[in-house]
Amino acid sequence: MKRAIIMVLDSLGVGELPDAANYGDAGSDTLGHIAEHAKNFHPQNLIDLGIGCIDGVNPAVPKTDAPKASYAKMKEISTGKDTTTGHWEIAGLYTKVPFKTYPDGFPREFIEEYQKRIGREVIGNYPASGTVIIEELGDEHEATGKPIVYTSADSVFQIACNVDVVPLEDLYHYCEVAREMLVGDWACGRVIARPYKKNAEGKRERTSDRKDYSVMPPARTLLNMVQDAGQVSATVGKISDIFDRYGVDLGIHLHDNMDGVDRTLQALATDFEGLLFVNLVDFDAKYGHRRDVQGYGDCIMEFDARVPELLAALKDEDILIFTADHGNDPTAHGTDHTREHVPLLVMGKPVKEGVNLGTRTTFADIACTCLEWLGIEERPAIGTSFLKEILK
């Protein structure tokens, strides 16, 4: 009973891609700059697996002489550096035309029509950090009930509401209306519900009830191929939202990274054949976008401490992959993702230790490898399996 487990350590890039300058990201290096600047940063378990042995990784990340995983770095061939594009490519899709972005906010005619559809005015409509805009506009929102809408350098339409002012069900309804509208000339990659509350000290804090509404993938992905082969296609974290549940049998949402590890361990303790696709978003959402170097480093250390549990939970026919979907260098200017290589660490009892898989030309090599491991003949249009290189 074979299983493939993909864990996306969201935004953990390992150095600029050759075209990074075209995205304003020359010199970006998420993991390397964290290793250089974060205090008490020494993720020993990831080091033991070989993350520091990946070709070209910043020398501030320690190497081991005996890596326990096979390892590589991967290029993104799709155009963009956003969540949807990265995850879709991991699952075998090439995105040639990038998702439309709105650096000046959404068009006036869209906002006017949107307000008619939801029956109330909105405020905001400009690019901003989510934690900043709820402080800038929170008082007005809480006094009037007007939803806060904003965007970023990504193709996103985000709606923030205090759930003690606007019930969560209403916020989700506003998102569903936006998702229906943001097509064609108003196309947008994701609509995101950003609920928040005030804590006992009066500080505004986002809750774990975030919900993403993505466009449906334009073609079949790894998830569909596994599902149609009669195997389980299960997800943990925001994966099911990113794929609009297309090809997903079971989607489990999370509170935070540690909840994600717990849910993954619970899934691994059950018997199933197929795919478990996991996203741990805290690296990106809580620390990368907020340019919090120390927080990002501490978050990696917290995950690193759980790695032995994940390895111990693997069964004889399991292959576990750690990777990322883009970078988000917390030392870079702005709050946007960064165009970077992503790491590839492959482990499990069937996997050789210490195989250097070099630089992979697309994230889709993961999809091809998982499909071959699971005995599924169908393949995506891009990608090359590295299975034969790593099997004992």
Q: Is residue 36 part of a domain?
A: yes
Residues 233 and 206 in one domain: no
Percent of the chain with pLDDT over 90: 90
In the chain, the amino acid numbered 373 is W
Indicate the average pLDDT of the chain: 96
- The model's confidence at residue 89, banded by pLDDT at 50, 70 and 90, is very high
Contact 288, 32 (CB under 8 A): no
Query: Is residue 101 domain-resident?
Result: no
Query: Are 160 and 193 members of one domain?
Result: yes
Give the per-residue pLDDT at 326.
Answer: 98
d(CA 382, CA 374): 18
Structure tokens at 185: 């000339």
pLDDT at 99 over 90: no
Q: Where residue 154 falls among pLDDT bands split at 50, 70, 90? A: confident
Q: Are residues 188 and 237 in the same domain?
A: no
- Does residue 98 lie in a domain region? no
Same domain for 201 and 288, yes or no, is: no
Q: Is 85 in the same domain as 162?
A: no
Place of tokens 């809580």: 286
Average pLDDT over residues 262-271: 97
Spatial strand order of the sheet with 250-252 comes to 250-252, 232-236, 274-280, 3-9, 318-323, 342-347, 70-74, 356-360
Q: Which residues contact 277 (CB under 8 A, 6 or more apart)?
A: 6, 8, 91, 222, 223, 233, 234, 235, 236, 239
Tens of pLDDT, residues 102-138: 989 999 999 999 999 999 999 999 999 888 999 999 9
Q: Residue 170 pLDDT > 90, yes or no?
A: yes
Phi, psi of 105 (to 5 degrees): 85, 175
Q: Does residue 325 contact residue 86 with C-beta atoms inside 8 Å?
A: yes
Q: What pLDDT is attached to residue 13?
A: 98
pLDDT tens sequence across 31-69: 999 999 999 999 999 999 999 999 999 999 999 999 999
Q: What local confidence, expressed as pLDDT, does residue 153 receive?
A: 76
Query: What token pair was written down for 224?
Result: 């569909």
Kindly report the CATH number assigned to the domain that includes residue 128.
3.30.70.1250
Say yes or no: 261 and 147 in one domain. Answer: no
The single-letter code of the amino acid at 302 is E
Same domain, 124 and 41: no
> How much is the average pLDDT of 142-161?
94
Residues 6 or more apart whose CB falls under 8 angstroms from that of 383 comprise 92, 362, 363, 364, 365, 366, 367, 368
Instruction: Write down the pLDDT at residue 208.
Output: 86
CATH no. for residue 49? 3.40.720.10
Q: Is residue 24 part of a domain?
A: yes
Residue 99 lies in a domain: no
59 in the same domain as 183? no
> Does pTM top 0.85 for this prediction?
yes
- How confident is the model over 161-181, as a mean pLDDT? 97
What is the distance between the alpha carbons of residues 383 and 29, in angstroms, rounded to a whole number?
24
Residue 341 in any domain: the answer is yes
Domain that residue 131 falls in = 108-214
pLDDT tens sequence across 220-265: 999 999 999 999 999 999 999 999 999 999 999 888 999 999 999 9
Residue 388 or 335, more confident: 388
Residue 97's pLDDT band, with cuts at 50, 70 and 90, is confident
Q: What is the pLDDT of residues 294-346, one digit of tens each?
A: 999 999 999 999 999 999 999 999 999 999 999 999 999 988 899 999 999 99
Average pLDDT over residues 134-154: 95
Burial tier of 354 (Cβ tally within 10 Å: 0-12, 13-18, 19+): middle
CA distances from 354 to 33, 65, 70, 299 (A): 25, 9, 5, 26
pLDDT the model gives residue 335: 85
392 in helix, strand or coil? Answer: coil
Cα distance between residue 217 and residue 88, in whole Å: 8
Q: Total domain count for the chain?
A: 2
Query: How high is the pLDDT of residue 79?
Result: 94
**In the chain, which ranges are continuous DSSP H helix?**
30-37, 44-49, 83-90, 108-118, 130-144, 168-181, 222-228, 239-242, 257-268, 282, 293-304, 307-312, 365-373, 387-390
**Residue 100: inside a domain:** no
Question: 358 and 291 in one domain?
Answer: yes
**Residue that terminates a domain, selected from 214, 242, 277:** 214
Say yes or no: 192 and 152 in one domain.
yes
**What's the distance, CA 77 to chain centroid?**
17
Q: Tell which of 197, 214, 231 closes a domain.
A: 214
Mean pLDDT value across residues 371-384 = 98
Give the domain-ending residue among 160, 187, 214: 214
Q: How confident is the model at residue 152 (pLDDT cuts 50, 70, 90)?
A: confident
pLDDT beyond 90 at 12? yes
Yes or no: say if 221 and 186 are a contact pair by the CB < 8 Å rule: no
Q: Would you tell me how many other CB atoms lie within 10 Å of the CB of residue 181?
A: 17
Read off the pLDDT of each residue in 182-205 and give the average, rounded to a whole number.
92
- 179 and 272 inside one domain: no
Q: Based on the fold, state whether residues 266 and 205 are members of the same structural domain.
A: no
Q: Is residue 102 part of a domain?
A: no
